[in-house]
Structure 1
Amino acid sequence: MDAAEWKRWIDDLIATGAAETSTLDFKAKPPNLKEPEARKEFLQDIAAFANARGGRIVYGIKEAKGIASQEVAFQENPDTIAQQMLAAVASIEPRITGAQFIPIQRQSGYMLIAEIPQQFTGPFLATMGNEQWFKIRNGLTRANMTHEQIRSAFGARAQTIANLRSWRRARLDELNRHIAGGRMAKVPWGVLHVMPIAAFASPTALDLTNTYPTYSRYPDSRYNLDGRLFQLGNDTRARRMQVFRNGVVETSWPAASKFEGTREGTILSKRAAQETWTGLRNAAATLKHWGLGGPVAVSLALLNASNTELHYEIDHPTKSHHAFVDDEAVFSEEFVDSSDALENGTGTVAKPLMDTLWQVYGLDECTYIAADGTWKLSLEHSTMA
């Protein structure tokens, strides 16, 4: 939400006398994190929301018996407080993804909202010194997690990742069948998957009849059994983007070409970088459009790639070739906090994917992208397309 929407939301809480819930808590003022008891309570509150369904804490609203009764804006610098909170939350393990601490300006001062998205990688352990706590939001309070709740959280995390990997493997097998059967050209293909973790933790179904973003490089689109397919052209070599009903975004493209004297079946590394960059940007916009803002897993694969070589540039026009003999390469997932983080850090997400591609062909790393995610070459599709 933007500043105006947050203001209206807070105004409505106070005007209607909103009640605290399992996902909403009111506190009159932010904690002084230099005080041990205040820091302990803050860490336990955040971990408790993360171990439940996520939620919001509004600092600057006084409550009476769980009902918002009065605005009590504070005068301290809210940006400083937000930075201190972010630093404190970093001590919770495993890392909480997507937590935000949002300063809100009011007529009499400031308020601050702690927003904790629903998590899928718990249980979360709050630690301070030699003390540790597994806390969970239980109704309007926090409680110690039971042994059964802790075991269940560990099991849910493992099952979510297993579901994701099983889905991806089944999808790659399906694409291999499309290539073998001629529905896709019998050439090497690059396949990028951006997978919302939430899609594999609980049933998710997007309403794809709703409006959808437009992509200048995908002028054609149609519904299919999987969801909605965006495509450049109608032949078997067409670059395409599939939005699945569970929220997964898949980009696929012919990865090889005969180029400047190279043989047919040469993987063009610069094209792979361009397609990965643009695919990540399009996926981030798509997920945000449908409100899927939580953590995502990103994976890249090469299909039908046996006996291919990699064409790459270091100092133009120097080119080298290294052979790859396996039929496919499926890279490990990269996990990203949110679609916002994916959009704002496209280069840092693409870097390990491209490094792995180069390593498949016996090279140390992708020289197109610096360690900080900065692109070293001009990419034609470096913006949302």
Structure 2
Amino acid sequence: MARSWTRLHEHLGHRPGPLTFDMVAAAVTDKLAESDDLDWKEKLPSFAPKPGIWNEFAKDVAAMANTRGGLLVYGVSDQIDLVGVDLVSADKKQMLSAVRNGIQPYVSGVDFIELPAPGGSGPDILVVDIPPSEMAPHFQYGWEQKDKDRVTFNAPFRVNDDTFYMTEHQVARAYQERFARRATADTLLKDRLAEVTEVVMSESEDSHAWLVVATLLTRPVPQLVPAPTRSEAAEILRQSTVSAARIGGARPAVLSNRLADDVRVGLRRWIGSNFLVPDRRSRGRGALIELHHDGSVVVCVDVSTHLAAGDDTAVDTLVLRTVAQEALVLADLHRLHRAPDTAVEITATVATTSTGRRLVPFDYDWGRMEVVEGTRRPKRLLPSSSELAPNADGEALRECAREVASGLLHQFGMEPAAD
């Protein structure tokens, strides 16, 4: 899936959105110079085998993936003139084959954007969008002639408009950075959970339990991408209400009933809540959402029920399942706005202020909310995690939400009710 923020967006001062023919033409008119994330190409790549010659397309893809991603724009000369290419001749299947067979590990997310000239008069443009890779370093495999044929490989990377090959210590550092990215992402997701849990616990009574869902993009949003505006954040929340209702079936909405369009500014985030502002506190179930500028999302909802559970805390499992689905829809829409080409990691837990109270699951039985018989009553639940793919549809969203909710409900020893 194509990225919504590129070198061309930055140069032209555009907000995140699809790449267009007019954007490329404007950059060419401005004679925008090549850089580590932009490479003008006059002709389409050739795949005819030539002794001693690397596959240039695979090299270019690997180099950009190893750096910070970028665009290969076919149809622009070295003098930065718009000369165009024949889109019919663009063998995208062969290009993907070169990526699959010539680069290890595989570079995922490479996208082809055909940009026909307005009016069909030519010249046309082909853009290959290469995302920055969390799996770097990528090695380009090939063969060369020296005394005799031999297979070899290198890890290319870009510096400004030139391509170089990593030395041993650069390869070692690239691996260290890969492992560090993974550790940093895990830590950030845990910190998001801990941070918001502390907030809701300070506002919670002993008999209350909160579902806390935190999501994180697997690939960071580029720093120069403009922060979402208040109106954009409110629109994402509104769209999530519509989308959640569409895929949620007969379930009554939870977030939309409590947050409406009240979105307020926070620290590098937009916040919607019905309990954080004292004079706007509403009765009933507390809810909180955070749309972070880095694409992460936090959703907290009081999943308690006031039905009798003795000295323990009653948990409304229907609300838990509903909010898990609404949170996934919200995270997906926020991802589409910030970085549509990346996956979303999700972690959820149930938090309560009283460690001495047990959690008792309640669900509907013939229209009445009752204790689910024969279940365990734990004092705490371990986090449940999943991942949402970049191209997730409604069914994928439902399945991912079900996986997250099931990971929590299974700890009560119960199977979630069928949707």
1:23 aligns with 2:43: no
CA deviation profile, 1:241-281 (whole Å, cap 9, x unmatched):
0123544210111234367x988745444433322222122
Could you say what secondary structure the match of 1:118 adopts? coil
**Cα deviation digits, residues 259-305 of structure 1 (max 9, x gap):** 7x988745444433322222122223334445675444222222228
Q: Does 1:103 align with 2:114?
A: yes
- Write the distance in 1 (CA, Å) between the matches of 2:45 and 2:364: 53
Q: Which runs of 5+ in 1 are unaligned?
A: 369-376, 378-385
Q: Aligned runs of 1:127-142 on 2, under 5 Å?
A: 127=141, 131-142=152-163
Name which of structure 1's ranges 157-166 and 174-183 shifts more when overlaid on structure 2.
Answer: 174-183
TM-score by length of 2: 0.69
SS at match of 1:193: strand
The question of whether the paired residues in 2 share the 8 Å contact of 1:342 and 1:349 is answered with no
Distance 1:69 1:242 in 2: 45
- Distance in 2, Cα, partners of 1:213 & 1:138: 36
Seen in structure 2, the aligned counterparts of structure 1 residues 237 and 140 have a Cα distance that, compared at 3 Å, is same
3-state secondary structure, aligned to 1:101: strand
Paired with 1:3 and 1:187, the residues of 2 have a C-alpha distance of: 42
2:231 alignment partner, SS class: coil
Is it true that 1:115 corresponds to 2:129 in the alignment? yes
Matches within 5 A, 1:147-158: 147-158=168-179
In structure 2, distance between residues paired with 1:110 and 1:167: 43
Q: 1:280 aligns with which of 328, 344, 361?
A: 328
1:51 to 2:66 alignment: yes
Residue equivalent to 1:383 = none
> CA–CA distance in 2 between the matches of 1:226 and 1:24?
29
Per the alignment, do residues 180 and 122 of structure 1 end up closer, same or farther by CA in structure 2, a change over 3 Å counting? same
Count of matched residue positions in the alignment of Structure 1 and Structure 2: 359
Q: Decide which moves more: 185-194 or 37-46.
A: 37-46
CA change 1:181–1:18 in 2 (3 A) is closer
Q: Does 1:11 align with 2:31?
A: no
Partners of 1:184 and 1:237 within 8 A in 2: no
Q: Give the direction of change, closer, same or farther, for the CA distance of 1:24–1:145 in structure 2 (3 Å limit).
A: same
1:296-352: CA deviations, max 9, x gaps? 422222222863244568999996653252423223453x564x6588942354354
Q: Tell me the amino acid that sits aligned with residue 257 of structure 1.
A: T
Aligned position for 1:40: 55
Alpha-carbon distance between aligned partners in 2 of 1:345 and 1:156, rounded to the nearest angstrom? 31
Equivalent residue for 1:230, pick from 263, 272, 275: 272
Q: Tell me the alpha carbon deviations over residues 188-239 of structure 1, each in whole angstroms, 9 at most, x when there is no partner.
A: 221111213455x987897466533323412223234563321246258411
Which of 355, 365, 384 is the equivalent residue of 1:331? Answer: 384
Indicate conservation of the 8 Å contact 1:314/1:367, yes or no: no
Q: Which has the higher contact order (CA 8 A, sep 6+)?
A: 2
Using the size of structure 1 for normalisation, the TM-score is 0.74
Q: 1:41 to 1:273 in 2, by over 3 A?
A: farther
State how far apart, in whole Å, the 1-side matches of 2:110 and 2:346 are: 20
CA distance in 2 between counterparts of 1:367 and 1:135 reads 51
The letter of the residue matching 1:124 is H
Distance change >3 Å, CA 34–CA 252, structure 1 → 2: farther
Whichever residue aligns with residue 74 of structure 1, its letter is D
1:159/1:315 CA distance change after superposition, 3 Å: farther
Task: Give the direction of change, closer, same or farther, for the CA distance of 1:114–1:75 in structure 2 (3 Å limit).
Answer: closer
Residue 71 (str. 1) matches residue 92 (str. 2): no
> Residues 103 and 83 from structure 1, CA distance in 2 versus in 1: closer, same or farther, beyond 3 angstroms?
farther
- Match in the other structure for 1:60: 75
Give aligned-pair identity as a percent: 18
Q: 1:212 aligned to 2:229?
A: no
Matched position secondary structure for 1:31: coil
Tell me which amino acid in the other structure corresponds to 2:71.
R
In the alignment, is residue 172 of structure 1 matched against residue 193 of structure 2?
yes
Residues 358 and 135 (structure 1), Cα distance of their counterparts in 2 relative to 1, 3 Å cut:
farther
Which SS does the other structure have where 2:116 is aligned? strand
Partner of 1:124: 138
Q: What's the CA shift for 1:136?
A: 1.1
CA contact (8 A) 1:206 1:290 kept: no
Counterpart for residue 263 of structure 2: 221
| Cα separation, 2, equivalents of 1:243 and 1:89 | 35
Q: Does the aligned pair in 2 maintain the 1:121–1:157 contact within 8 Å?
A: yes
| RMSD (Å) for aligned C-alpha atoms | 4.1
- Compute the displacement of 1:90 (Å): 4.6
Which of residues 92, 97, 117 is equivalent to 1:82?
A: 92
Alpha-carbon distance in 1 for matches of 2:403, 2:212? 15
1:49 shift after superposition: 0.3
Instruction: Describe the superposition over 1:3-26 as per-residue Cα deviations: whole angstroms up to 9, x where unpaired.
Output: 995110222244344432221112
Distance in 2, matches of 1:96 and 1:249, equals 27
CA distance in structure 2 between the partners assigned to 1:203 and 1:17 by the alignment: 24
Aligned partner of 1:372 in structure 2 is none
The answer on 1:322 being equivalent to 2:375 is yes
* Counterpart residue identity of residue 271, structure 1: V
